[in-house]
Amino acid sequence: MKDTKRIADEKRLTITLDRTLKIVAAEGELDVKTVATETLIGHNPATALESYWNDHIEEHCHSSLSAGKTFVREFEYLDQASITKFISITIEPQAADGFISGVYVHFEDITEKKRNNLKMNQQRRMQNLALLASNISDKINNPLARVLNQVGTLLMEDLKTMETKHLLHELENIQELVYSMSSVTIALQAFSTVCSDNFQQIDINSIVEKSVELSRLLKVNEHIDYRVHFEADIPAIRGNEITLEQCFVNIIKNALEAMPMGGRLEVRTTLENDFVLIIFKDNGMGIERKNLHKIFDPFFKTKNGQHSGLGMSVGYGIISSHDGWIDIQSRPDRGTQVTVFLPVKKTFNIDN
């Protein structure tokens, strides 16, 4: 298992390149792959820094050498756990006696900053949505309950004539529609009020395992290769087992529906810094890039059928109430990875 605390502290690396773009000096640590900075000297950065180097960075280095310009860029990377990392890279010329002898390349891991900004934006969106949800629930839930009760009473009548049977059929359709509307308001209400009063110590591995088993009962797609792995020694967290299970089942359901012809679903848990990560990865149809930023919007949906478009909104509301967030990475025809981050700063010993 990785030394996650060490990774958290290793955020910056500066390398100096000569005019041939060979490393002549290195200082700092970006992650465990660059711990021994002295071993970088004399190497080509494309080899020494592996995935952190690309053609765009090299092109900017050449421009800095030839024109003396400074460049600042941000890049996305996938680490070994397929989690998105954000790196800010500054490239500036190294001048001596009026001559550009090389370039400095400064790497800074800004993943936490990006995640915090994303979390704040999404929480602001959820606060606005919570107000909407509360208003909708107050105005619709009570009359819906009365209608359902009245329809239920009518369905219990002794129906003998064909005309009455026809009426029964119509009433059943009405009841189904009303239940459908009721489910929407219930879903909205799930995150209209964030309350941790009923939180308790919970075992995430157990909840995820139960969610996977429940998803097998959905009969959405029986041609799925499940690959499940739970990392040992995942600490307990404070949370609500029922709502988290609801969130996980919905994520899995979305994944299954994205693989109508069958496919592979990977579900795993791991620990990164002060967070438990629950990762759901499918090889389904994926999501178009233009739609990724809309995933958490209420009533947004890309699928046909009787979907309310509230699944991910509700899911994010649930995770937000646990002081966590959801990251989604997807490419059309290449699949989707949904990563749920839950903090472990308020943990309990599960045996106590």
Q: State residue 291's pLDDT score.
A: 77
Q: State the pLDDT at residue 142.
A: 67
User: Sheet harboring 12-18: ordered strands across?
Assistant: 23-29, 12-18, 99-109, 84-96, 71-78
pLDDT of res. 167? 72
pLDDT at residue 349 greater than cutoff 50: no
Question: Is residue 283 scored above 60 in pLDDT?
Answer: yes
Q: Comparing C-alpha atoms, which of 280, 285, 286, 284 is closest to residue 227?
A: 280
In the structure, what pLDDT confidence band is assigned to residue 131 with cuts at 50, 70 and 90? low
CB 217 within 8 A of CB 259: no
Q: What's the pLDDT at 104?
A: 94
Is a pLDDT exceeding 80 seen at residue 124? no
**61 within 8 A of 16, measured Cβ to Cβ:** no
Q: What is the pLDDT of residues 152-189, one digit of tens each?
A: 776 776 656 657 777 777 777 777 667 666 656 665 66
Report the percent of the chain where pLDDT is more than 90: 26
- Which pLDDT value is given to residue 292? 73
Residue 194 class from Cβ within 10 Å (0-12 exposed, 13-18 middle, 19+ buried)? Answer: middle
Strands 275-282, 325-331: pairing is: unpaired
**More confident of the two residues 154 and 148:** 148
Instruction: Report the C-alpha dihedral over residues 16, 20, 22, 24, rounded to 10 degrees.
Output: -50
* Neighbour tally for 196: CB within 10 Å: 13
**What is the predicted pLDDT for the residue at 7?**
34
User: Is the confidence at residue 3, as pLDDT, over 50?
Assistant: no
pLDDT tens profile 206-251 = 999 999 998 888 766 778 899 999 999 899 998 988 889 988 988 9
Q: Which residue segments constitute the domains of the chain, with CATH numbers given?
A: 4-109 (3.30.450.20), 111-193 (1.10.287), 197-352 (3.30.565.10)
pLDDT digits (tens, 9 = 90+) for 30-73: 764 444 566 788 888 888 887 788 889 999 999 999 999 999 98
> Radius of gyration of the chain from Cα atoms?
26
Question: E strand or H helix at 290, and its extent?
Answer: helix 289-292
Q: Residue 78: pLDDT above 70?
A: yes
Nearest to 68, CA basis, from 60, 80, 77, 79: 60
* b/e per residue 138-163 (b: at least 16 CB within 10 A): eeeeeebeeebeeeeeeeeeeeeeee
pLDDT top residue among 35 and 253: 253
For the chain, the distance separating the N- and C-terminal CA atoms, rounded to the nearest angstrom, is: 25
> Is residue 203 scored above 90 in pLDDT?
yes
The helix/strand count (H/E) of the chain reads as 9, 12
Please determine, for residue 151, whether its predicted confidence score (pLDDT) is greater than 50.
yes
Q: Is the pLDDT of residue 348 over 50?
A: no
pLDDT value, residue 257: 87
Using the predicted structure, report yes or no on whether residue 306 has a pLDDT greater than 60.
no
